[in-house]
Amino acid sequence: MFRVGQKVACINDRMNHGGQRPSGYNYPIEGTVYTIRDIFADEFGRELVRLCEVKNGQENTRLGFIEPGFDASHFRPVVSRKTDTGMAILKKLLQPKPERVE
């Protein structure tokens, strides 16, 4: 769904950690744009992301000592009007090239 380096917006900052947010951790803020630093799955197979702008220390998990991530479902891709993607690129490729006059 996401890729490293992609810009994403936080659409839900109510991160569920057993109903509480452990103190001492940094969390994303809803409505803020972040850059994906890492993507991985937790022990339950959920897709998690780490963000360049939000860093935390490591914690002891079933996977060993790792920096916690945030549920990918709490983010959405940011679409930039400056960057041509998808259909815009295809439309450009299909436009006829101007003929060269010599």
Reading the block at residue 95, the tokens are 């436009």
| pLDDT on residue 35 | 97
| pLDDT on residue 101 | 67
| Triad 47, 56, 75: Cα angle to 5° | 35
Residue-wise pLDDT for 45-88, tens only, equals 899 999 999 999 888 877 788 888 999 999 999 986 665 555 66
Q: Please, what is the average pLDDT of the chain? A: 82
Report which DSSP code applies to 40: E
**Which residues, listed in sequence order, are joined to residue 64 by a DSSP beta bridge?**
61
Residue-wise pLDDT for 4-49, tens only, equals 999 999 999 887 555 556 667 899 999 999 999 999 998 888 999 9
Compute φ and ψ for 28, nearest 5 degrees.
Answer: -65, 155
Tell me the whole-structure pTM to 2 decimals: 0.69
